[in-house]
Amino acid sequence: MSDAHDGEFAVERESWPDDLPRTLAFPHGRRPLHEYVCRHARERPDAPAVTFYGRTISWREFDAAVDAFAAAMTERDHAGDVCALCLQNSPQFLIAYHGAHRAGMTVTPLNPQFESPAVARQLDDSGADVLVTHTGLVETARPVLDDTAVSTLVRTAYGSFTAAESPVPVHPDVADEPSLDATAVEGPVVDTTLTDVLDEGAGSDADPDAEPAVADHALIQYTGGTTGLPEGCIHTHWNVLYKARTTAQVRRYGPEDTLLGVMPLFHVAGKQRYCDALAATGAHAVLLARYTPEAVMAAVDAHDVTSTWLSVPAAQEIVDHPDSDEYDLSSLSARREFTNCSSFGTNLTRQVSDDWASLTGARLQESGYGLTETHTTDTHTYGDFRIEPGFVGQPCYGVEIEIRDFETGDALDPGEQGEIAVRSPATMAAYLDRPEATDAVLEPDGFLHTGDVGRLTEDGSLYFLGREKDTLKVSGHTVSPREVEVTLADHEAVADAVVVGVPHETRGTVPEAHVVPSEAASDDPDALEAAVLDYAASALAEFKRPVAVVRRASFPRTDVGKVDRAAYLDRLADE
């Protein structure tokens, strides 16, 4: 069944790829994604839905587990509550996510790398009543449960959804996990296991009567906290569905695809691809609890993976791996000529893309631009293989992007640099319990102030140049460190670069390049500096050129592989 109103999300832009549909479609209607799961179970019951270290779950089995989780939550009177998921990539995440929605609950994913204070903050801020977590994370959650609203703790062992033998190397988080018996929790919370919850739900007569509508709240997705404490973005089922269908169409996902879920599901972009778009298309997802290059290569080879999404450092690690030739990775080019990647501070280069194409038959392509507040995927790069500093593609279905003056708010002409402002059908309803923060970023007309620096071209392509708070003032000029970083990364001697501002007597601030050298770089620090500065002189305007180069061994990174600029600047302040 198609939606009668699909035409309102049609794209008329001339630069839109000819082989990409111009209209966003909702093949099973505008309804919560857990209903799409049910539809796939009816129409393709025996088709594979999820594979996890040797065990494959069909759509029939998957839907039955989702239904059982929903029934148990309904039986326990949790309809309308918040369900927190603190899990690595696993079938358990998908089951609890869709099951909670089917029970009329709102979901908030937690980063499983969090320490206890961060877990406590999100549980308290979101008002979570139920926490589903892994046995290996119980000790992190245990000390803070009494200080939150959590009334039910659901523990799970990843191994309960794996096979005795796996063609993919099993990550230690799975292979060496604590047992359920060893992690039982005593106290005021109701302590149970996911196995018991599913058994309870399967034998229950409870019928979830919440029947959430697309306008109901589905998700409290927290920002990364790169500009302050994380804030909870409230998203509706409509937001989630809209961007699930968007990412499915601009990646050309279909039921014929096998998607390799490497990026974390707790992150909005990983969840959108391997949880939401999975349900929106009826594809097959192969999940890895955590990334290792060996597991990625083995999974692609063993399961004929047709699409994945990697960080640039991960792709580089696979290309350089001594055993890469022992795996058949050609399935990645069977249905599309690209593999999506995200720079995350290590910039995509033509050489890395070419090397990836030699290995897989598919070229690496920057994934796009998006935010937690808009449930991401605001731009796409389908059909456009430009590898240029900051290039992140053109706006997706229904998304409007303007570049505005940071001070006046006036829209700027193509080519001019300013703040990226986004209006999207999937923009959050609000920041949870933060009306002033919401009003500060959301205009009455629906445009969201991103705080990001960018520029648009005449054909509507967006270039992301970094965060406004990171910009430098050099002799009155505004300089984006991101622009300088991606330019320097094109030099063969540079593996990674972070540009910081240092005081100058007459110019206020000047750029200084902190560089992780590549294998091609000279061991002589003076030679490296000379090479980088000479290249900058040939590629950048005078006021954007670094005045010095500082050699570094590495930069700290976030849990999704981004260079953690804030952590690095804190490190510099302590030196």
Q: Is the pLDDT score of 459 beyond 90?
A: yes
| Half-sphere CA count of 553, side-chain side, radius 13 A | 0
Check: CB of residue 418 under 8 Å from CB of residue 453: yes
Check: CB of residue 214 under 8 Å from CB of residue 32: yes
Check: CB of residue 125 under 8 Å from CB of residue 573: no
CA dihedral 268, 271, 274, 275 (to 10 degrees): -140
399 versus 8: the higher-pLDDT residue is 399
Query: 234-248, 353-367, 477-491, 533-547: which range is least confident on average?
Result: 477-491
Query: 140-154, 233-247, 561-575: which range is least confident on average?
Result: 561-575
Q: Is the pLDDT score of 337 beyond 90?
A: yes
pLDDT at 1: 31
pLDDT at 475: 74
d(C-alpha 101, C-alpha 84), whole Å: 12
SS (H, E, C) 394-429: EECCCCEEEEECCCCCCECCCCCCEEEEEECCCCCC
Question: What's the rounded mean pLDDT across residues 450-473?
Answer: 89
If phi > 0 it is left, if psi is from -120 to 50 it is alpha, else beta; for residue 500 that is beta
Rg (CA), the chain: 24
d(C-alpha 495, C-alpha 313), whole Å: 9
pLDDT tens digits, residue range 381-413?
A: 999 999 988 899 999 999 999 999 998 999 999
d(C-alpha 362, C-alpha 253), whole Å: 16
Q: Is the pLDDT score of 531 beyond 90?
A: yes
Could you give all domains of the chain from N- to C-terminal order, each with its CATH number?
56-236 (3.40.50.980), 398-467 (2.30.38.10), 472-574 (3.30.300.30)
Query: 258-272, 515-529, 550-564: which range is least confident on average?
Result: 550-564
Helix (H) or strand (E) holding 488: helix 481-488
CA dihedral 389, 390, 394, 400 (to 10 degrees): -150
User: Residue 439: which pLDDT band, with cuts at 50, 70 and 90?
Assistant: very high
Residue-averaged pLDDT of the chain: 92
Percent of the chain with pLDDT over 90: 76
Q: Are strands 549-551 and 472-474 parallel, antiparallel or unpaired?
A: unpaired
d(C-alpha 438, C-alpha 461), whole Å: 27
At residue 15, what are phi and psi to the nearest 5 degrees? -80, -5
d(C-alpha 97, C-alpha 100), whole Å: 5
- Please report the beta strands in 110-238, taking only residues with DSSP state E, as ranges in sequence order: 130-134, 152-156, 190-193, 217-222, 232-236
Check: CB of residue 445 under 8 Å from CB of residue 423: yes
User: Residue 345: which pLDDT band, with cuts at 50, 70 and 90?
Assistant: low
Helix (H) or strand (E) holding 303: helix 293-303
CA-closest candidate to residue 54, choices 367, 376, 406, 302: 302
User: Residue 263: which pLDDT band, with cuts at 50, 70 and 90?
Assistant: very high
Q: At what angle do helices 312-319 and 293-303 cross, to 10 degrees?
A: 80
d(C-alpha 254, C-alpha 307), whole Å: 11
pLDDT tens digits, residue range 77-87?
A: 999 999 999 99
Helix (H) or strand (E) holding 97: helix 91-102
pLDDT at 503: 87
Q: Which of 118-122, 239-243, 337-341 tops mean pLDDT? A: 239-243
Residues with Cβ within 8 Å of 420's Cβ and at least 6 positions away in sequence, in order, are 369, 401, 402, 403, 450, 452, 453, 454, 462, 464
CA-closest candidate to residue 32, choices 104, 127, 132, 110: 104
